[in-house]
């Protein structure tokens, strides 16, 4: 451990602070028609059209722009209803510009036209960029922005791109992505902080090799001094009511940026399942199980985020961020009614009623320290990050089963389990960017990460009212992993060509130890992850491009944990400590037409793809859900994406993909199984901006997913039709919203597994048909944007709910 800490300390010897003298630019603003001081006007210093520093005027009209390096600038001062003030200045010392008079813009006041920018979709060499800055979408929350990003599909509050779950980044820093946590985080983040969303299907070398497609949310850098805050709340009615609320606070003064967010969620969610299992012996059914399952989950959850940025001087910035998820209350009650028809002897038929009462508590604390140094050369930058995660979860369950047997006395069974998991993650990285010329850039970086997790599971069978330890189902699992990575990347552009190539190497050492079972699994491997992107502009309206990347998908810590979670005496989820990482090679060629239509052909080959397989044990009549490596997965097809305006008030986004998914697997009986199916998903998103003042927006979204093969099961078709309305009031300080989700109740799904000696069927009805009412109120200087960002390491991503 000392060696690991020393390694991280060595990384931060790169932190070098370069002092440079800075100055202030100040002045006072008054109106030409009244000589009254103008407060909350924007004062920005620009170089070559790029905002370098900024401030806003206070109640007396005074403004001060601090930490200004020497040089020539354009000073722009703007305020609604007045002409923009322009002045060229050269900063060699602290400057007081005195009183500046803003001239009233008579023409604009005579006929006020409120316009709203349109979102833009643009292809860059290694990503698709959806820019929403200054558009009506900024009146929403960040989750809604992701949901409306072309190519992104949201099903059951879970993000999906190209039939897989993407990894979410904010300002190029990875965030913890469990379905519920990422939803609650982004649903409580105001979208006025978002500049754009980047969809990166084949990520370049600077990003961690772990995971597949990346969604990078780019936040605006704030230039204005002052305080801004908001409070919000939502009430959702499904089968049961649920609600959440929170507050955001942001303050900027001279060198200091401060952001704090608190969010609370109270929920009760229903789920109904039906299960049919045909247990087999040489293709003949030995017993037929039919089960109705009802599951209710209640929880109270708190989220706290804190970000502090401090500008040491014009070239050096130090930042701290902390994110805490606290789950003090979580209870799930699962009731199963099963009828078992024994096909070999009628007197062996029976039924069972099982109740599983589960509870857990959890906290997940992530801390980050960042340092950024800007060199004298424009664009040259050194950045460093240290990340620490403390994750602690306790999980208990009580399973009670009553049996009614046709020809024998009734009886019951009961057992309890007590489980805990503690995980600590420590990582550090350093990145360096160097513009070689106006058309070429070089990047490099190193990273080290250490993960330690310890889990305990103790099962007690209840025999005549006495708890007896079940040694065969109890264990302690110790897992240690270290990852060391380095990368280089080079980008070059010519008049009509752009190229970006990179190499990332990652060395992994891990050991998983089941102490009571005395089973040890070790792995030690080095993998190289090349990336390549090329773009050619045939004309102003036609681009063609191609790219390639290799990625790794490491198992989650829960998937590696050998413990099992029981639904009944005959069905359970269990981990697999022998899981291997999956390696994916992805290829893509595409064309961009008129900046509006994007057509791509893709092919991905996954070796050791990880699926949670549904496996029936015919000898012991049990159903097991086990994460397993599939030998290989081939995924190829054609994508079409477009974003355009039908009318001035109506924008349309369409995404459709036709693809083939093929999985190959060898069973425990050494039988080779292969299944494939062509499928389609289509999303049509309609956004309307209504009323003269653009204060009412509406969204109608329809998503269709055809039947698809996933891990040797065929999943039925699904659809989602949603309608949302959003109205700003009180001079856009408040927002009212109404959302009707899954209007057609199209999220009910079936999963059918039929191959070799497997024959089972599963239907799930999720609690997705809901109506939600929301309210948000902004106060303080509402011109502010925040420095909010939620960071965590790539390793933290592998923590699951």
Instruction: Compute mean pLDDT per 10 residues along the chain, 801 residues long, and list them.
Output: 47 41 86 77 80 77 84 85 85 89 64 57 87 75 81 77 79 69 71 83 88 83 68 93 89 82 92 94 90 95 89 89 91 95 79 94 91 90 93 93 87 93 93 92 95 93 91 90 96 92 95 84 93 94 94 86 84 88 94 92 93 88 90 93 89 93 84 90 91 89 91 90 91 89 92 91 92 88 50 54 49
Nearest to 260 by CA among 789, 685, 795: 789
Round to whole Å and give the CA distance between 599 and 407. Answer: 65
Task: Kindly list the distances between the CA atom of residue 333 and the CA atoms of 162, 298, 336, 356, 359, in Å, as whole numbers in the listed order.
Answer: 34, 9, 10, 6, 9
Q: For the chain, how big is the Rg over CA atoms in Å? A: 29
Instruction: List helix spans (H) across 354-484.
Output: none
Provide CB contacts within 8 A for 49, sequence distance 6+.
none
Round to whole Å and give the CA distance between 189 and 141. Answer: 6
CB count within 10 Å of CB 411 equals 11
pTM of the model: 0.80
Q: Which two tokens stand for residue 626?
A: 């086990």
The strand pairing partners of 78, in sequence order, are 42
- Angle subtended at Cα 247 by Cα 245 and Cα 252, rounded to the nearest 5 degrees: 165
Where do the domains of the chain lie, and which CATH numbers do they carry?
2-110 (2.60.40.10), 120-226 (2.170.130.10), 227-798 (2.40.170.20)
Round to whole Å and give the CA distance between 697 and 728. Answer: 9
Q: Which two tokens stand for residue 788?
A: 């909010």
Four-residue CA torsion sign, 795, 799, 800, 801: negative
Q: Which two tokens stand for residue 327?
A: 């789950």
Round to whole Å and give the CA distance between 546 and 601. Answer: 10
* Predicted local distance difference test score (pLDDT) of residue 8: 45
Burial class (CB in 10 A: 0-12, 13-18, 19+), 13: exposed
For residue 472, the 8-state DSSP code is: G
Burial class (CB in 10 A: 0-12, 13-18, 19+), 356: buried
Round to whole Å and give the CA distance between 663 and 690. Answer: 47
**First vs last Cα of the chain: how many Å apart?**
28
The answer to whether 244 and 184 have CB atoms below 8 angstroms apart is yes
The strand pairing partners of 219, in sequence order, are 194
* Predicted local distance difference test score (pLDDT) of residue 17: 36
- Angle subtended at Cα 255 by Cα 253 and Cα 261, rounded to the nearest 5 degrees: 60
The answer to whether 278 and 226 have CB atoms below 8 angstroms apart is no
The bridge status of strand 214-219 relative to strand 167-170 is parallel
3-state DSSP assignment of residue 165: coil
Nearest to 773 by CA among 725, 738, 728: 738
The secondary structure element, H or E, covering residue 179 is: helix 179-187
Round to whole Å and give the CA distance between 54 and 46. Answer: 9
The answer to whether 55 and 64 have CB atoms below 8 angstroms apart is yes
| Chain center to CA of 590 | 26
CB count within 10 Å of CB 713 equals 22
Burial class (CB in 10 A: 0-12, 13-18, 19+), 543: buried
CB count within 10 Å of CB 539 equals 8
Q: Which two tokens stand for residue 32?
A: 């030409």
DSSP string for 292-335: EEEEEEEEEEEEEEEEEEEEEETTEEEEEEEEEEEEEEEEEEEE
Nearest to 38 by CA among 87, 80, 88, 94: 80
Round to whole Å and give the CA distance between 656 and 652. Answer: 13
The bridge status of strand 440-463 relative to strand 475-493 is antiparallel
The answer to whether 738 and 722 have CB atoms below 8 angstroms apart is no
Q: Which two tokens stand for residue 273?
A: 């399942």
Round to whole Å and give the CA distance between 587 and 627. Answer: 27
The answer to whether 497 and 535 have CB atoms below 8 angstroms apart is yes
Count of alpha carbons within 13 angstroms of residue 433, beta-carbon side:
17
The bridge status of strand 62-68 relative to strand 153-155 is unpaired
Q: How many residues does the chain have?
A: 801
Round to whole Å and give the CA distance between 471 and 482. Answer: 31
């Amino acid at each position: 451990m000392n060696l690991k800490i020393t390694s991280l300390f060595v990384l931060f010897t790169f932190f070098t602070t370069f002092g440079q003298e800075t100055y202030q630019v100040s002045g006072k603003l008054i109106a030409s028609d009244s000589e009254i001081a103008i407060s909350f006007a924007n004062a920005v210093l620009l170089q070559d059209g790029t905002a370098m520093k900024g401030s806003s005027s206070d109640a007396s009209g005074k403004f001060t722009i601090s930490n200004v390096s020497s040089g020539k600038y354009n000073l722009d001062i703007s305020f609604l209803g007045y002409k923009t003030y322009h002045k060229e200045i050269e900063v060699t010392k602290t400057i007081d510009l005195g009183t500046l008079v803003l001239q009233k813009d008579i023409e604009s006041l005579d006929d006020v036209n409120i316009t709203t920018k349109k979102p833009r979709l643009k292809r860059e060499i290694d990503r698709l960029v959806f820019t929403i800055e200054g558009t009506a979408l900024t009146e929403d929350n960040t989750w809604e922005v992701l949901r409306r990003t072309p190519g992104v599909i949201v099903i059951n509050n879970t993000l999906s791109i190209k039939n897989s779950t993407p990894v979410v980044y904010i300002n190029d820093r990875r965030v913890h992505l469990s379905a519920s946590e990422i939803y609650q985080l982004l649903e409580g983040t105001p979208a006025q902080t978002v500049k754009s969303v980047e969809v990166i299907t084949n990520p370049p070398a600077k990003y961690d090799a772990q995971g597949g497609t990346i969604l990078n949310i780019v936040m605006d850098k704030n230039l204005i001094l002052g305080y801004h805050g908001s409070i919000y709340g939502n009430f959702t009615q499904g089968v049961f009511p649920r609600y959440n609320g929170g507050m955001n606070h942001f303050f900027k003064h001279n060198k200091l940026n401060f952001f704090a967010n608190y969010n609370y969620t109270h929920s009760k969610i229903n789920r109904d399942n039906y299960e049919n299992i045909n247990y087999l012996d040489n293709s003949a059914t030995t017993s037929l199980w039919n089960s109705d399952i009802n599951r209710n989950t209640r929880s109270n959850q708190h989220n706290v985020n804190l970000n502090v940025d401090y500008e040491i001087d014009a070239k050096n910035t130090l930042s701290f961020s902390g994110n805490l998820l606290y789950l003090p209350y979580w209870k799930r009650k699962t009731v199963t009614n099963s009828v078992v028809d024994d096909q070999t002897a009628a007197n062996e038929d029976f039924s069972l009623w099982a109740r599983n009462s589960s509870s857990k508590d959890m906290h997940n604390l992530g801390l980050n320290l960042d340092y950024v140094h800007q060199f004298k050369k424009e664009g040259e930058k050194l950045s460093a990050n240290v990340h620490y995660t403390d994750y602690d979860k306790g999980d208990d369950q009580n399973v009670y089963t009553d049996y009614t047997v046709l020809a024998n006395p009734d009886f019951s069974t009961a057992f309890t389990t007590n489980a805990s998991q503690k995980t600590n993650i420590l990582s550090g990285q350093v990145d360096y960017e160097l513009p070689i010329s106006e058309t070429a850039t070089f990047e490099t970086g190193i990273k080290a990460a250490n993960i330690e997790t310890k889990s305990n599971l103790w099962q007690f069978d209840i025999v005549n009212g006495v708890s007896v330890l079940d040694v065969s189902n109890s264990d302690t699992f110790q897992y240690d992993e270290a990852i060391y990575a380095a990368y280089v990347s080079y980008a070059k552009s010519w008049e009509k060509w752009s190229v970006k190539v990179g190499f990332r190497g990652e060395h992994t050492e891990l050991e998983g130890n089941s102490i009571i079972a005395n089973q040890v699994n070790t792995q030690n491997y080095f993998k190289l992850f090349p990336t390549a992107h090329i773009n050619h502009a045939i004309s102003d309206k036609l681009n063609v491009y191609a790219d390639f990347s290799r990625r790794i998908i490491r198992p989650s810590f829960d998937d590696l944990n050998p413990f099992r979670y029981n639904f009944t005496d005959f069905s359970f989820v269990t981990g697999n400590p022998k899981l291997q990482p999956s390696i994916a090679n992805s290829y893509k060629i595409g064309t961009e037409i008129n900046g509006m239509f994007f057509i791509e052909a893709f092919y991905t080959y996954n070796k050791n793809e990880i699926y949670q397989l549904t496996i029936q044990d015919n000898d012991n009549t049990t159903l097991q859900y086990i994460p397993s490596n599939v030998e290989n997965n081939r995924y190829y097809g054609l994508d079409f994406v477009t974003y355009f305006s039908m009318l001035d008030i109506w924008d349309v986004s369409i995404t459709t993909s036709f693809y083939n998914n093929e999985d190959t697997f060898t069973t425990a009986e050494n039988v080779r199984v292969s299944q494939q199916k062509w499928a389609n998903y289509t999303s049509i998103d309609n956004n309307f901006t209504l009323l003269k003042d653009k204060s009412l927006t509406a969204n109608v979204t329809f998503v269709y997913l055809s039947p698809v093969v996933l891990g040797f099961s065929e999943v039925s078709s699904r659809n989602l039709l949603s309608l949302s309305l959003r109205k700003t009031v009180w001079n856009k300080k408040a927002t009212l919203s109404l959302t009707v989700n899954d209007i057609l109740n199209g999220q009910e799904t079936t999963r059918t597994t039929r191959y070799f000696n497997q024959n089972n069927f599963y239907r799930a009805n999720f609690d997705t048909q809901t109506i939600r009412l929301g309210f948000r109120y902004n106060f303080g200087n509402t011109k502010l944007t925040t420095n909010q960002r939620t960071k965590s390491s790539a390793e933290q991503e592998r923590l699951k709910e």
